[in-house]
Structure 1
Amino acid sequence: MTDTSTVDGRFGRRFLSTAALFFLLGFQYSTWAARLPAIAGRLGLGSAEVGLLLLACGVGAVVSYPLVTLLMARLGSRDLSCLAALVLGFVLVALPVVADYPAAVATLFVDGVAVACLNVAMNAQGAALEDRYGRPVMARLHASFSGGSLVAALVAAGVAALTPSVSGHFWLALAVVLVLVACARPGLLAENQAPVKKERGRRRAPSAMTLLLGCAMVFGTVTEGAMNDWSALYLRNSVHASVAVEPMGIAVVSVMMVLARLFADGWRSRWGDGRVVLVGTALAALGLAVGVLLGGVLPALVGFACVGLGVAAVTPCVYVAAARQGPDALTFVAGMGTVGLLAGPPAIGLLAAATTLAVGLLAVAVSAFVVFLCATRITWTPQASVKQTSLVLDDTTPNVS
């Protein structure tokens, strides 16, 4: 038998390494999203052009999934996650110096491909970690993503108050990315511990439950992603907040997400995944709609807080439910999550260009309500069964080295 303290130490090291990847993705994404008004201003972009710029990310993610599958088989989740993270870091330093709008579109297309690679690879690491040690970790891993987003928003607010230089800010962010990759890689599961399964023959179509989970993931990440991409612009253009207040929209969402995800496992254990998702998405939809309809900076920030609190548990719960459907379902849902995160906000931008940004954010509230409807049809496995399984596996965890 393996000494419990030794297993706990290895688990802790691997958990922190995987959490670093989630933190990195949230940090990189919110770093450039928080400075999007400055980037758009330098290039002279309107709402429609910003929407198309963000759409490049979504297109990059959508078209990359055959490539992601190939790279997962060739490189494995450990190497692919580190490679994708490095690409994301260098995308940051390219954005402030692109010569024109087409170059910015191409840069964010590459960003979308890299985000898709990292999203699938890091969630594969998280699922392998849960399977290896029999301990639920997905909610805390996604809390790390929110933590990265929060740190990025606060850093952006501080840097914006000190200097208008976006380039200097993003070089600092690149240094953070490089440190995170260097610290994370040694603790990630190697491929003999997190194997990539190769299947022969034609792939089966996703089941009805998998499609339902994919739908919930798409609209859940649309809701989450829209807050990252449009909250700063809404505060500036619609309610006329100051430059220092603009990044606080992302910060409020991220704070609530971090807090909610830190407690999410307890909520799931007490009330079950279904109730947590239902109550959360109802809160997000109602809170955001009321905040936008009332107008003003404070109602907007309260509405954003409701979104952060309400959708925080959606992604972890859906990933857990997808993992119970099998590896194909997990890959499909992870892909749909990236599509929603990157392709949804541009759609909000195009709607805002045709109407107003307030109408665009009301559409985000509708998106949260769609997740609510999906949650009423999803079969959620009681969390108690997961706890019982983890107790058995904790006693029989094999040696990991």
Structure 2
Amino acid sequence: MLRHHLKTATYAVAALFFALGFNYGSWASRLPAIKSQLNLDPAQVGFLLLAAGLGAVFSFPVTTSVLQRFGSKKVCLGAGLALPLVLPALAFAPNYGFALAIMVFEGVAHSCLNVAMNAQGVAVELENGKPIMSRLHAIFSLGGLAAALFASLMTGVSPGLPLHLCIVAVLIWGGVLWASPRLFADRTEAASAGGKRFSLPTGMAVLLGLTALFGTIVEGSMVDWTALYLRNDLQAEQWIAPLGLASFSGAMLLARWFGDGWRARWGERTLLLAGSSVAGLGLLLGLAVGGVLPALIAFALVGLGVAAVSPCVYMAAARQGAVALAAVTTMGSIGALMGPPVIGFIAHISTLGWGLAFVALGALMIALLVRKISWPA
């Protein structure tokens, strides 16, 4: 019975990781259509994404307190049901101000679900006795890949946003309702967190948080800007634009699927050093060469290179305690949602190519931070 419960809980957590990736990838893949529908310039797109980042920032103390009071199982249900509301709201957004408010809500719900499902993932890995976090994050990437491919398909069927995004919302609601009852029941979160209601990260947690921040800046920027870079800067056909995200997410999925074995074989430090270097240098080279095919290859290298960052960093944070895990995971959410707006501002004053060069530097920053962190032998 216990083994069956563990297996069921593993599938349930995996479903939530897929749902978050599918939600995120769905609206990100349709950014060109959202931009066109609301007649936005690159800076306005940047502010739209910044609104989501601000939501994630403001959610941190709330998320920590809610997790400690209600536990990750209930937060997964609440945030999982709230998050898909963003999709039809964006599809029918009447103006830019409404879209900004919706994206603040996206940031809060995304961050809450991200923290809660990673807490469930850590619990499953500890109960299972073998690494599974990388594979769970592979499922998140699979959700992003599926979202990109589904977006490409739906663009051909119906170029408008409502049909596509409403279908996605219904699918996610179904997945969350199936998964939530099958998650692990929580121990008292306040006790596991040492009785603290809220705490800023310190010491090693700061380094882990910064690593998560840069890792998700890279990841989030790839999700949000690859389609626009291919479509607007490289003049790719409309159906090709979502393939930038598909290239990145597919490579990341592959690396994360095998990442638990790589982590056991080479260790977290070596894996992260090599991967972040490949991501940064590969993206710089692809941008320098130019063209659709080099860009797709570069996006794939980034996916391969940063795939291990979140799984390794979140498990390292879990070893520091529940509060550290919440703080580091929230910083990861902030990076995913705050990084892309910075790229939009750079694109506004120069080009999106220069914005993606900034992303490459972020990947190289990971290599510098990894060297300062004490990893298990």
Normalised-by-shorter TM-score class: over 0.9
Matched, 1:63 2:66: no
Q: Which amino acid counterpart does residue 27 of structure 1 have in structure 2?
A: F
1:242 equivalent in structure 2:
237
Q: 1:121 and 1:202, CA in 2 relative to 1: closer, same or farther beyond 3 A?
A: closer
Matched, 1:298 2:289: no
1:343 equivalent in structure 2:
338
Alignment equivalent of 1:167, drawn from 146, 162, 165:
162
Whether the 8 Å contact between 1:322 and 1:329 is mirrored in structure 2 is yes
Post-superposition CA distance 1:224-258 (Å, at most 9, x none): 00000000000011111000000000001111111
1:389 equivalent in structure 2:
none
Q: 1:203 and 1:170, CA in 2 relative to 1: closer, same or farther beyond 3 A?
A: closer
Give distance in 2, aligned partners of 1:259 and 1:198: 34
1:276 equivalent in structure 2:
271
Deviation at 1:378, TM superposition (A): 1.2
Deviation at 1:132, TM superposition (A): 2.7
Q: Which amino acid counterpart does residue 323 of structure 2 have in structure 1?
A: D
Q: 1:65 and 1:206, CA in 2 relative to 1: closer, same or farther beyond 3 A?
A: closer
Whether the 8 Å contact between 2:67 and 2:189 is mirrored in structure 1 is no
Give the RMSD, CA atoms, in angstroms.
Answer: 1.6
SS of the residue 1:325 aligns to: coil
SS of the residue 1:308 aligns to: helix
1:390 equivalent in structure 2:
none
SS of the residue 1:8 aligns to: helix
Whether the 8 Å contact between 2:230 and 2:244 is mirrored in structure 1 is yes
Deviation at 1:164, TM superposition (A): 0.7
Matched, 1:149 2:144: yes
Alignment equivalent of 1:78, drawn from 73, 76, 93:
73
Alignment equivalent of 2:114, drawn from 93, 113, 119:
119
Correspondence 1:183-332 to 2 at 5 A: 183-192=178-187, 197=192, 199-200=194-195, 206-332=201-327
Q: Which amino acid counterpart does residue 261 of structure 1 have in structure 2?
A: R
Q: Which amino acid counterpart does residue 114 of structure 2 have in structure 1?
A: N
Q: TM-score, normalised by structure 1?
A: 0.91
Deviation at 1:98, TM superposition (A): 1.1
1:137 equivalent in structure 2:
132
SS of the residue 2:376 aligns to: coil
Matched, 1:37 2:32: yes
Whether the 8 Å contact between 2:26 and 2:168 is mirrored in structure 1 is yes
Matched, 1:15 2:10: yes
Deviation at 1:83, TM superposition (A): 1.1
* Structure 2: stretches of 5+ with no match in the other structure: none
Deviation at 1:21, TM superposition (A): 0.7
Q: 1:170 and 1:201, CA in 2 relative to 1: closer, same or farther beyond 3 A?
A: closer
Deviation at 1:7, TM superposition (A): 3.8
Q: Which amino acid counterpart does residue 320 of structure 2 have in structure 1?
A: Q
Q: 1:345 and 1:192, CA in 2 relative to 1: closer, same or farther beyond 3 A?
A: same
Whether the 8 Å contact between 1:284 and 1:310 is mirrored in structure 2 is yes
Q: TM-score, normalised by structure 2?
A: 0.97
1:107 equivalent in structure 2:
102
Q: 1:291 and 1:61, CA in 2 relative to 1: closer, same or farther beyond 3 A?
A: same
1:393 equivalent in structure 2:
none
Post-superposition CA distance 1:259-300 (Å, at most 9, x none): 101110111111111111111001000110110111110010
Give distance in 2, aligned partners of 1:205 and 1:175: 36
Whether the 8 Å contact between 1:128 and 1:194 is mirrored in structure 2 is no
Q: 1:196 and 1:55, CA in 2 relative to 1: closer, same or farther beyond 3 A?
A: farther
Deviation at 1:198, TM superposition (A): 5.4
Post-superposition CA distance 1:362-394 (Å, at most 9, x none): 000000000011111111113xxxxxxxxxxxx
* Structure 1: stretches of 5+ with no match in the other structure: 1-5, 383-401
Give distance in 2, aligned partners of 1:294 and 1:345: 23
Give distance in 1, aligned partners of 2:271 and 2:237: 35
Deviation at 1:207, TM superposition (A): 3.3
Q: Which amino acid counterpart does residue 257 of structure 1 have in structure 2?
A: M
Deviation at 1:208, TM superposition (A): 2.4
Give distance in 2, aligned partners of 1:36 and 1:196: 42
Give distance in 1, aligned partners of 2:164 and 2:298: 29
Give distance in 1, aligned partners of 2:281 and 2:306: 12
1:388 equivalent in structure 2:
none
Identity of aligned residues (%): 47
Give distance in 2, aligned partners of 1:208 and 1:366: 24
Deviation at 1:305, TM superposition (A): 0.4
Whether the 8 Å contact between 2:60 and 2:327 is mirrored in structure 1 is no
SS of the residue 2:71 aligns to: helix
* Count of equivalent residues: 377
Q: 1:201 and 1:367, CA in 2 relative to 1: closer, same or farther beyond 3 A?
A: closer
Whether the 8 Å contact between 1:76 and 1:196 is mirrored in structure 2 is no
Which one has the largest radius of gyration? 1
Deviation at 1:130, TM superposition (A): 2.0
Give distance in 2, aligned partners of 1:309 and 1:381: 23
